[in-house]
């Protein structure tokens, strides 16, 4: 069996100055298997992937491809040995065609040096066909959807003759339908004896498509198990090093007075939305991708312009056509995209957390830095943000801690109503549980939360009430008792007619 391994890592150690990122990691990968890598953020998954893909050197240990001892100095060398990686951020040239991108740097040439376009398009078409992709090889990549771009990345891996494809959170930006297509492609790749290293935070996916999984914690190898020999709770407890019994806090909510109201909100992608939020309530809003939930949240917060609509806080109409005004009226917002919209990555944690409360910290024009520092440290402690110092750059933190910094910024601004867009996207299980506990605690303090999420267990686990959106309309309201994934999906996808 051993000599069959397409990829083998033996006691790989990677040290950064002062930190041991990987500490004697083992990994066995067989051809034609989907092998999931599990671990919290900071467990060393990304470092390991970069080492396998040749993007980073390792300090000690051995790596074998097809039984041969290898040392990669670049991703090019790894690719030559048949190891390809699909990053979360795609590496494609938007203005070039699909075929050109697939063969970038390796375009077929005619004898006198000109590009052999005929051969290029023929080859590209063949590969696309192999993957059952209905994308024209001459289309510009900029015209493709995120899902299609990802498929092209996979096609690109095939053109270099990859034996191992590393996929890093491949479903993060995909809709449910697109995920199905991706899984189909993964099945096809398995049949072609290509191994897949699959990294995802979504446990259900891992259990659905992988054959085996390996768990890491704090840079250490914990275990490799066959999927049929393990279960969800087992994996999670291996990942966090203790058992996480209740991811979601048990909520008992009795409806109080209406604190917040939206009337006839209209804009591009949002039609005539009305909603009421009660004091201390978590109102879930869910829908498929593109159903208008994110747009609605940004409309309420004044981040995008509305066509019409009124917003009331405590029965009084407020003007919130800019985030500044919304924040002043007691509405807070956590974006679904923390890197682009949540954080200033090149500035310190301290500045990020203080960003929405500068006025409160200031006497005249000067910031009271002592007071500011005290407040920031209080938030860091309250949210259990793991940092070495508050002057660390926000960009250096792991996903979960970054998300907590965004939370801290908003909590520091002390809004009564908090709008959370996909608050746990790309966050590991441990931090997830902490974020849920914070949400629960906030509502107990009398704050109200609008939770916008496509993660159904999360919406069901956290919400006291759920609104379902479809094509920009709120189509259904589900009470705590009726909540189930089936009900939500049925209404969100239009499988059930609207209640009139």
Partner 1 sequence: MNKNKLINQINVYRSVMILLVICVFASILSPSFLSVNNLFNVFKQITVAGIVGCGMTFVILTGGIDLSVGSIMGLAGVLASGVLATTGNVFYAMGTAILIGIVCGTVNGFWVAQCGIPPFISTLGMMTLLRGCVLVYTKGSPIPVKVDAYKYIGKGTILGVPVPVILLLIIFILAHYVLTQTAFGRCIYAFGGNKEAARLSGISTKKTEWMVYVINGLMCGIAAIILTARLGSAQSTTGEGIEMDAIAAVILGGTSLSGGTGFVLPTVVGAMIMGIIDNILTLMNVNPHATNIVKGAVILIAVLVDKKVKDLSAKAE
Q: Which positions touch partner 1 (CB under 8 A)?
A: 16-18, 301, 303, 322-324, 326-328, 333, 335, 340-347, 351, 354-356, 358-359, 361-362, 365-367, 369, 396, 409, 413
Nearer to partner 1, 214 or 401 (CB): 401
Q: How far is the CB of 399 from partner 1 (least distance, A)?
A: 16
Nearer to partner 1, 119 or 325 (CB): 325
Nearer to partner 1, 188 or 321 (CB): 321
Nearer to partner 1, 213 or 427 (CB): 427
Nearest CA to 330 out of 356, 352, 305, 353 is that of 356
Q: How far is the CB of 353 from partner 1 (least distance, A)?
A: 10
Nearer to partner 1, 1 or 346 (CB): 346
Q: How far is the CB of 150 from partner 1 (least distance, A)?
A: 24
Nearer to partner 1, 250 or 366 (CB): 366
3-state secondary structure the chain: CHHHCCEEEEEEEEEECCEEEEEEEEEEECCCCEEEEECCCCCCHHHHHHHHCCCCCCCEEEEEECCEECCCCCHHHHHHCCEEEECCCCCCCCCCEHHHHHCCCCCCECCCCCECHHHHHHHHHHHHHHCCCCCCCCCEHHHCCHHHHHHHHHHHHHHCCCCEEEEECCCCCCCHHHHHHHHHHHHHHHHCCCEEEEECCCHHHHHHHCCEEEEEECCEEEEEEEHHHCCHHHHHHHHHCCCCCCCCCCCCCCCCCEEEEEEEEEECCEEEEEEEEECCCEEEEEECCCCCHHHHHHHHCCCCCCCEEEEEECCEEECCCCHHHHHHCCEEEECCCHHHHHCCCCCEHHHHHHCCCHHHHEECCEECHHHHHHHHHHHHHHCCCCCCCCCCEHHHCCHHHHHHHHHHHHHHHCCCEEEEECCCCCCCHHHHHHHHHHHHHHHHCCCEEEEECCCHHHHHHHCCEEEEEECCEEEEEEEHHHCCHHHHHHHHHCCCCCCC
Q: How far is the CB of 235 from partner 1 (least distance, A)?
A: 32
Q: How far is the CB of 269 from partner 1 (least distance, A)?
A: 19
Nearer to partner 1, 76 or 396 (CB): 396
Q: How far is the CB of 377 from partner 1 (least distance, A)?
A: 17
Nearer to partner 1, 36 or 411 (CB): 411
Q: How far is the CB of 343 from partner 1 (least distance, A)?
A: 6
Q: How far is the CB of 21 from partner 1 (least distance, A)?
A: 12
Q: Which of 337-346 are b and which e, b meaning 16 or more Cβ less than 10 Å from the residue's Cβ?
A: ebeeebbeee
Q: How far is the CB of 362 from partner 1 (least distance, A)?
A: 5
Nearer to partner 1, 134 or 396 (CB): 396
Q: Which of 169-201 are b and which e, b meaning 16 or more Cβ less than 10 Å from the residue's Cβ?
A: bbbeebbeebbebbbebbeebbeeebbbbbbbb
Contact assessment for residue 317 and residue 311, using Cβ atoms and an 8 Å cutoff: yes
Q: How far is the CB of 106 from partner 1 (least distance, A)?
A: 29
Nearer to partner 1, 152 or 354 (CB): 354
Q: How far is the CB of 183 from partner 1 (least distance, A)?
A: 33
Q: How far is the CB of 56 from partner 1 (least distance, A)?
A: 11
Nearer to partner 1, 320 or 456 (CB): 320
Nearer to partner 1, 200 or 375 (CB): 375
C-alpha torsion sign, points 284, 285, 287, 290? negative
């Amino acid at each position: 069996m051993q000599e069959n391994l397409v990829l083998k890592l033996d006691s790989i150690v990677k040290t950064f100055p002062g930190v041991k990122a990987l500490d004697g990691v083992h990994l066995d990968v067989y051809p034609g298997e989907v092998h999931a890598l599990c671990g919290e953020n900071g467990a060393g998954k990304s470092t390991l992937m970069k080492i396998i893909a040749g993007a980073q050197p390792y300090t000690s240990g051995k790596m074998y491809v097809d039984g041969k001892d290898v040392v990669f100095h670049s991703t090019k060398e790894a690719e030559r040995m048949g190891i390809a990686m699909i990053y979360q951020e795609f590496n494609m040239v938007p203005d070039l065609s699909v075929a050109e991108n697939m063969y970038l740097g390796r375009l077929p040439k005619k004898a006198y040096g000109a590009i052999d376009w005929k051969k290029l398009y023929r080859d590209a078409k063949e590969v696309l066909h192999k993957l059952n992709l209905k994308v024209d090889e001459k289309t510009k990549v900029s015209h493709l959807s995120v899902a299609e771009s990802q498929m092209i990345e996979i096609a690109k891996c095939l053109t270099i003759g990859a034996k191992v494809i590393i996929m890093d959170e491949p479903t993060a930006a995909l809709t449910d339908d697109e995920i199905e297509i991706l899984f189909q492609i993964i099945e096809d790749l398995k049949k072609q004896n290509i191994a897949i290293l699959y990294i995802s935070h979504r446990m259900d996916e891992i259990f659905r498509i992988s054959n085996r999984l390996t768990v890491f914690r704090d840079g250490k190898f914990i275990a490799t198990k066959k999927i049929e020999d393990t279960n969800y709770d087992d994996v999670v407890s291996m990942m966090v090093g203790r058992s996480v019994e209740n991811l979601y806090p048990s909520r008992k909510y009795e409806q109080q007075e209406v604190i917040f109201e939206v009337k006839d909100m209209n804009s591009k992608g949002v039609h005539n939305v009305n909603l009421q939020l009660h004091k201390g309530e978590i109102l879930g809003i869910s829908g498929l991708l593109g159903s208008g939930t994110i747009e609605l949240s940004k409309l309420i917060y004044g981040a995008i312009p509305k066509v019409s609509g009124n917003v009331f806080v405590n029965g009084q109409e407020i003007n919130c056509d800019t985030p500044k005004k919304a924040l002043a009226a007691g509405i807070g917002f956590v974006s679904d995209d923390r890197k682009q919209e949540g954080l200033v990555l090149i500035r310190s944690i301290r500045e990020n957390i203080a960003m929405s409360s500068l006025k409160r910290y200031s006497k005249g024009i000067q910031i009271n830095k002592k007071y500011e520092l005290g407040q920031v440290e209080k938030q860091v402690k309250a949210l259990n943000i793991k940092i070495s110092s508050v002057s660390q750059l926000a960009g250096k933190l792991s996903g979960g801690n970054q998300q907590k910094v965004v939370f801290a910024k908003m909590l520091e601004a002390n809004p009564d109503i908090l709008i959370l867009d996909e608050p746990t996207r790309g966050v590991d299980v441990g931090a997830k549980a902490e974020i849920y506990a914070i949400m629960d605690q906030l509502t107990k303090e009398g704050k109200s939360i609008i939770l916008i999420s496509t993660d159904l267990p999360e919406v069901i686990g956290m919400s006291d009430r759920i609104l379902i959106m479809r094509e920009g309309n709120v189509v259904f309201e589900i009470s705590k008792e009726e909540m189930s994934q089936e009900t939500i999906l049925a209404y969100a996808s239009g499988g059930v007619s609207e209640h009139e």
